[in-house]
């Protein structure tokens, strides 16, 4: 298991952050979804869509279940997770 301290900051006039679109990828391209049962606190508040104004930040932990052999990890927002308005 790995936990990522993530901060999302709106640099446009307004941003909508959608709940479940963050994935962790390894060097081989495998994707790992969030572990919803065993999460480091405080979790990134992604239970509902959030609207952020310019300069506002949403911060918290995302926890992923990964094999110990996974290397070259990077976090990605899936297409459509962050909407700019």
pLDDT tens-place values along the chain, 85 residues long: 888 888 888 888 888 776 567 888 899 999 987 766 666 666 666 555 677 889 998 888 888 888 999 999 988 877 555 444 3
Q: Which residue has the tokens 């952050």?
A: 17
Q: Identify the CA nearest to 18 among candidates 48, 63, 45, 59.
A: 48
The alpha carbon of 55 is separated from its chain's Cα centroid by a whole number of angstroms, namely 18
Q: Which two tokens stand for residue 64?
A: 């992923």
pTM for this predicted structure: 0.67
Q: Provide the residue range defining the domain that includes 77.
A: 2-84
In this structure, what are the phi and psi dihedrals at residue 7, rounded to the nearest 5 degrees? -125, 130
Q: Identify the CA nearest to 20 among candidates 41, 40, 50.
A: 50
What domain count does the chain have? 1
């Amino acid at each position: 298991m790995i936990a990522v301290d993530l901060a999302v900051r709106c640099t446009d006039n307004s941003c909508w952050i959608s709940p479940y679109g963050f994935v962790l990828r390894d060097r081989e391209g495998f994707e790992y979804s969030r572990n919803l049962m065993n999460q480091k606190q405080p979790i990134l508040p992604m239970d509902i869509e959030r609207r952020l104004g310019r300069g506002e930040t949403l911060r918290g932990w995302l926890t992923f279940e990964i094999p110990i052999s996974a290397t070259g990890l990077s976090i990605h927002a899936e297409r459509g997770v962050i909407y700019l308005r």
